[in-house]
A and B are shown apart, each in its own frame.
Chain A
Amino acid sequence: MSVQPVILWTDAALFALLAAALLAIAGVRRDPMRRETWRKVLLRPSAAVSLVLLLAYLVVGLADSVHFRRALPDAGDGQIHYAARVESLLDVALAHLRDTQETTYSAPLATHAFVKDTIEREGRAAGRDYPRLAHGGQHLGEPPAGRAGDLSLRIGLGLLAGGALTGLAWLAVRRHLSPEAAGRRSLMAGLASLGVLLAVVGAVAALAQGYHVFGTDKVGQDVLYLTLKSVRTALIIGVLTTLVTLPIAIVLGITAGYHGGWVDDVIQYVYTVISSIPGVLLIAAAVLMMQVVIETHPEWFETAAERADARLLALCVILGMTSWTGLCRLLRGETLKLRELEYVQAARAFGVGSAAILRRHILPNLMHIVLIALVMDFSSLVLAEAVLSYVGIGVDPNTISFGTMINAARMELARDPAVWWSLAAAFVVMFALVLSANLFADAVRDAFDPKAG
Chain B
Amino acid sequence: MRFKSLLIGAAIAVAVALPGQAKELRFAFQGDLKSLDPYNLNETFTLGFLGNIYEGLTRRSPDLSIEPALAESWSIEEPTRWRFNLRKGVKFQDGTELTADDVLFSADRVRADGSDLKTRLAGVVDVIKVDDHTVDFVTDAPNPILHAEWSTWYIMSKAWAEKNGATKPQAATGNEENYATRHANGTGPFMIETHEVGVRTVAVPNPNWWDKATHNLTKVTFTQIAADPTRVAALLSGEVDMAYPIPLQDQARVDANPGTRVLAGPELRTIFLGMDQFRDELLYSNIKGKNPFKDHRVREAFFRAIDIEAIKAKVMRGNSQPSAMMVAPGVQGGGDPRFTRLGYDPDKSKALLAEAGYADGFEVGMDCPNDRYVNDEQICLAVVSMLAKVGIKVNLNAQPKALYFKKILAPSLDTSFYLLGWTPGSFDSWNVLYNIHGCPDESGKGKFNLGGYCNPKVDELTAKVLSETDADKRAKMVSDAWAMTIEDISHIPLHQQALSWGVSNKVELAQRADNEFHWRHVTIK
Task: Decide whether A and B assemble into one complex.
Answer: no
Task: Give me the interface of A with B, judged by CB distance under 8 Å.
Answer: none
